[in-house]
């Protein structure tokens, strides 16, 4: 699929793994950390403005709302550039959200697109059947003014999904299982292509989560076939024309794995790598200090609902801080209208405005030395969420919520759910 999309955008009949190409871009993305770097680099060039005011998105989400003077200056830089160049898709606080939840929600990326973003989790949009990948700020800046980017065409690994997920098992458990199986460099600079009849049993939110964490296996991108669910999702949100690309029957893959979704169990990635996975059953007695439910990986409405269902009528354990961060304003509003925010607050959680915040050790949930967090985010490297002597355990919203109640790594079944 990826090779077909890249060939079409490079004006070529076909491409091969390892080939260097220049491809047209449908969307170029940056945030308040990576955007200023790109903007300052672009200022050194003679290009006067962006290639297309509708195909650039600038989203202040990492340190927004501004946490300090430096973050305020970064956001000001992005804000002023967007205004000066008339960029359509600039999202100020009040309209913003976490970029990789916001762009699909706004219909800005559709099937068959090529998208680059100065953020590694730009691979999220592969859930829509698009080629999307993270790049450095200078590549992003060049793409912003030329509408093009160069790529080395990746080879591909195929994951054939069969069956259906069990109760309290989600897309997060699928991707943690895969990363645990192949390792954090198991798909290095390759495309992770998902196929099989099990795909139809995954929600779009499951697919976003899986594609989002392809980078945690070292992949260039993750990509799903375009089916009825994808098309329905796109049509509800976008008027952009979409294009369906399908892998050939005889397409060549470096490796093929078959995964029975019904065999998977709630899974946790132990410190300090996403590949260090165990099922919750195997986890043992791991006491925790904090829970974070949110991020570009798991801050969508289905994630918020799953956490609320676990927390309803229950209380966060003494000594545990539980932080819930809906990924966009629309998700926040929907959660409020469904009464989910009331559930969280009555349980003893706090609910934040959309922000990346704690995921990157930015704000809204930094860990001190010796503290442990269960988080629905995507990385648990040393010092990722604060002190280098803290620990992050990656899990699904359901596991995170259950852990908040018990004060240790737990799954909902331990609460009788």
Which helix (H) or strand (E) element contains residue 283? helix 280-283
pLDDT of residue 46: 78
The topology under which CATH files domain 268-415 is Aconitase; domain 3 (3.30.499)
| Residues of the chain predicted below pLDDT 50 | none
For the entire predicted model, the pTM comes to: 0.96
pLDDT of residue 48: 78
pLDDT tens sequence across 268-322: 999 999 999 999 999 999 999 999 999 999 999 999 999 999 999 999 999 999 9
Architecture of the domain whose range is 11-259: 2-Layer Sandwich (3.30)
- Are 11-259 and 268-415 in the same CATH fold? yes
Query: Rounded distance, CA 362 to CA 352, Å?
Result: 14
Token pair for 41 = 């680099």
Query: Rounded distance, CA 214 to CA 155, Å?
Result: 14
pLDDT of residue 166: 96
Angle subtended at Cα 110 by Cα 114 and Cα 108, rounded to the nearest 5 degrees = 90
21, burial (CB in 10 Å: exposed 0-12, middle 13-18, buried 19+):
middle
- Structural domain spans, the chain: 11-259, 268-415
pLDDT of residue 43: 87
In the sheet that 391-394 helps form, which strands lie side by side, from edge to edge? 277-279, 267-269, 391-394, 372-375, 290-293, 321-324, 350-351
């Amino acid at each position: 699929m990826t090779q077909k999309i890249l060939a079409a955008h490079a004006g070529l009949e076909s491409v091969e793994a390892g080939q260097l190409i220049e491809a047209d871009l449908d969307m170029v993305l940056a945030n308040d950390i990576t955007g200023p770097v790109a903007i300052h680099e672009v200022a050194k060039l003679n290009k006067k403005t962006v290639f297309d005011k509708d195909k650039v998105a600038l989203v202040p989400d990492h340190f927004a709302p501004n946490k300090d003077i430096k973050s305020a200056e970064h956001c000001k830089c992005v804000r002023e550039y967007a205004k000066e160049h008339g960029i359509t898709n600039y999202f100020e606080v009040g309209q913003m959200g976490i970029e990789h939840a916001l762009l699909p929600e706004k219909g800005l990326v559709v099937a068959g697109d090529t998208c680059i973003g100065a953020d590694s989790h730009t691979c999220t949009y592969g859930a829509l059947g698009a080629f999307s990948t993270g790049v450095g700020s200078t590549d992003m800046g060049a793409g912003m003014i030329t509408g093009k980017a160069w790529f080395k065409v990746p080879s591909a690994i195929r994951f054939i999904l069969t069956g259906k997920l069990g109760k309290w098992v989600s897309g997060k458990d699928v991707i943690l299982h895969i990363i645990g199986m192949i390792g954090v460099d198991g798909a290095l600079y390759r495309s992770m292509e998902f196929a099989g009849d099990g795909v139809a049993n995954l929600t779009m939110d499951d697919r976003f989560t899986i594609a989002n964490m392809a980078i945690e296996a070292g992949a260039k991108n993750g990509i799903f076939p375009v089916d009825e669910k994808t098309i329905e999702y796109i049509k509800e949100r976008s008027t952009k024309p979409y294009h369906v690309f399908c892998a050939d029957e005889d397409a060549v893959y470096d490796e093929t794995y078959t995964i029975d979704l019904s065999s998977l169990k709630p899974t946790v990635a132990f410190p300090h790598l996403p590949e260090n996975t165990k099922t919750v059953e195997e986890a043992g007695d791991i006491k925790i200090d904090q829970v974070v439910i949110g991020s570009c990986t798991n801050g969508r409405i289905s994630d918020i609902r799953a956490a609320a269902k676990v927390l309803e009528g229950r209380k966060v354990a003494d000594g545990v801080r539980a932080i819930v961060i809906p990924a966009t304003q629309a998700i926040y509003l929907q959660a409020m209208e469904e009464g989910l925010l009331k559930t969280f607050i009555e349980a003893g959680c706090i609910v934040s405005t959309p922000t990346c915040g704690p995921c990157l050790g930015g704000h809204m949930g930094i860990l001190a030395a010796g503290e442990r967090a269960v988080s629905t985010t995507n990385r648990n490297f040393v010092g990722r969420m604060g002190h280098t002597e803290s620990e992050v355990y990656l899990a699904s919203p359901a596991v995170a919520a259950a852990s908040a109640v018990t004060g240790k790594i737990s799954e909902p079944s331990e609460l009788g759910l």
